[in-house]
Amino acid sequence: MKFGVFVGNAGRSSGGPEVYETQLIRSFASLDRQNEFHMFCLSNKAKETIGVKQENFLYHQLRPASFRPVSMTVGLNAQLLRYKTDSLHATFMPPPFSVQAYMLTLVCFSMFRHPEFYPAAVRSRLRALITLGVRAARVFLCVSANVRDLFAEQFRIPMDRMVVTPMGTDPMFRPLPPELVKSELVSRFGIRSPYFLYSGRWERRKNIFGIIEAFARFKHDSPGDHKLVFTGSRTWAAREADELIERHRLQKHVVDLGKSDVVELPLLYNGAQALVYASLWEGFGMPIAEAMACGTPVITSNISSMPEVAGEAALLVDPYSIDQIADAMSRIAGSSDLRCRLRASGLERSKQFKWEETATRTLAAYRMMAEAQ
C-alpha cells in the first residue's frame, strides 16, 4: 500500500504539532519497511527535521513553498494525482481542497467551547479551518477520548469514524541522576533553588495568570526560596502576565527561560519539585505525560482531557480556584512522601504513552480507510 501524510508543521518550529508529526513518522519507520510512505511537506526543512531515511519513505516538497495557499491546494493536489496514495492523513492542518478523501487528526476543542481564549483573528481562522476539515474528512484520529466525544456531539460524527490515538513521549524523557541534574541546572540556567515548572506557551487558555496568582499566594503563605520557572514561547498574553508578576513583586522569584530547546526539557522536568499545568482546556496535555515519564510530580486540572492523561498519578485541581492550585504547591513543597508517591505513580502511568503505540493505532486506521475505498 501507499500511505500519504500531509505534513504541515515539521520544519516550522511549531511546538506540539511538529512533535506529533516527527515522532509519528519516525515510529512508522521503525514499524513498517514494506508499505510506501509519501510525505507531502509544506516546509523545505521538513525532511531534515523528521530525519527518516528509508527506501520506503519518500518526501515531496509542495510548491510554491513561499505561498502556502497555493501549495496547499494546487501543489498538494498535483502530487496526489501523480502518486495516487491509498490513503491520506492530514495532521492538524486540513487542505482547503483535496482530490483524495482524507483522515484528519483532531487535537483540541477549545476554539469551540472557549472562543474567549483566543484573539478574534486567531479564533476565526481556527474555527473556519477545523470546521472545513471536519466536514471534508472521512475518518478522524482523536488525541483523547474527550476530544472524540466533544467533536462527535458538536458535529454529529458517527463513533465508528473516530479513532482515539493518544500522543506519546520521546525516550529522552526519563529520570536522570540527581547530582547531574543539580549541576546542569546551575551551569546552564543559574538555577540553585527548588522550583515549580510551567512548560508551554504563555496563553490565557493555559491559565498563565491563574498559575502566577497561585504562586504569589504560595509564596505569601510559605516563605522560602522557591522559584516559578517558565519554559515556552511568549504570546499575546505575555505582557499582561509580566504586569501581574510585577504587581505581586515576584520578579526575583520568576525565571523566564523562553522557549527551551527540546533536549533541555528532560533536565528541567527532572529538576522541578513539580510541573504546574493547571490549564483551562487541553486536547491532550503533552507536558503532563513528559513530566511523569521523568518522575516529576504533576499538578494539573480536573477538566477536559487532563484527568484522562494523568489518571490518579497527579494532584488534580480546579483550575479556576487559585486556592486549590496554591494548596497543591504547598502540599508538594512540604511533603517528601507525597513527592515520592507521585513520582512512582507517574512513572508507571507514563508507560501508557508511547509513540510506537500511537503509530500502531494510526497505521491500523490507514489500512481501514484504504480498504474501504
DSSP state of 131: H
What was the pLDDT predicted at 85? Answer: 94
- Same domain flag for 319 and 223: yes
Number of domains in the chain: 2
Q: Could you tell me if residue 62 is inside a domain? A: yes
End-to-end CA distance of the chain: 13
Element (H, E) at 89: strand 87-90
- Same domain flag for 324 and 309: yes
pLDDT tens digits for range 201-212: 999 999 999 999
Low-confidence winner among 45-49, 63-67, 80-84, 293-297 (lowest mean pLDDT): 63-67
The CB density around residue 315, as the number of other CB atoms within 10 Å, is 22
What was the pLDDT predicted at 236? Answer: 83
- Same domain flag for 201 and 332: yes
Q: Could you tell me if residue 172 is inside a domain? A: no
- Same domain flag for 130 and 264: no
> Where do runs of H (alpha helix) occur along the chain?
16-31, 46-50, 68-70, 76-83, 110-113, 120-136, 145-155, 178-184, 208-221, 238-247, 265-271, 286-293, 306-310, 322-334, 336-350, 355-372
pLDDT at 24 over 80: yes
pLDDT at 88 over 80: yes
pLDDT tens digits for range 175-234: 999 999 999 999 999 999 999 999 999 999 999 999 999 999 999 998 789 999 999 999
pLDDT bracket for residue 172 (50, 70, 90): very high
Rounded to an integer, the average pLDDT of 163-183 is 97
Give the predicted TM-score (pTM) of the model: 0.93
355, 337, 349: which is closest to 307 by C-alpha?
349
- Same domain flag for 270 and 366: no
The CB density around residue 152, as the number of other CB atoms within 10 Å, is 17
Residue 307: give the domain boundaries: 178-350
- Same domain flag for 313 and 366: no
Strand, coil or helix: 166: coil
DSSP 209-252: HHHHHHHHHHHHHS-S--EEEEES-B-TTHHHHHHHHHHTT-TT
DSSP state of 43: S
pLDDT bracket for residue 84 (50, 70, 90): very high
- Same domain flag for 321 and 250: yes
pLDDT bracket for residue 277 (50, 70, 90): very high
Rounded to an integer, the average pLDDT of 20-24 is 95
Q: Could you tell me if residue 78 is inside a domain? A: yes
- Same domain flag for 18 and 44: yes
Rounded to an integer, the average pLDDT of 282-286 is 95
pLDDT at 79 over 90: yes
- Same domain flag for 104 and 45: yes
- Same domain flag for 341 and 359: no
- Same domain flag for 47 and 189: no
Task: Identify the CATH number of the domain in which residue 40 sits.
Answer: 3.40.50.2000
Q: Could you tell me if residue 81 is inside a domain? A: yes
327, 343, 326, 279: which is closest to 305 by C-alpha?
279
pLDDT tens digits for range 129-147: 999 999 999 999 999 999 9
- Same domain flag for 288 and 314: yes
What was the pLDDT predicted at 222? Answer: 86
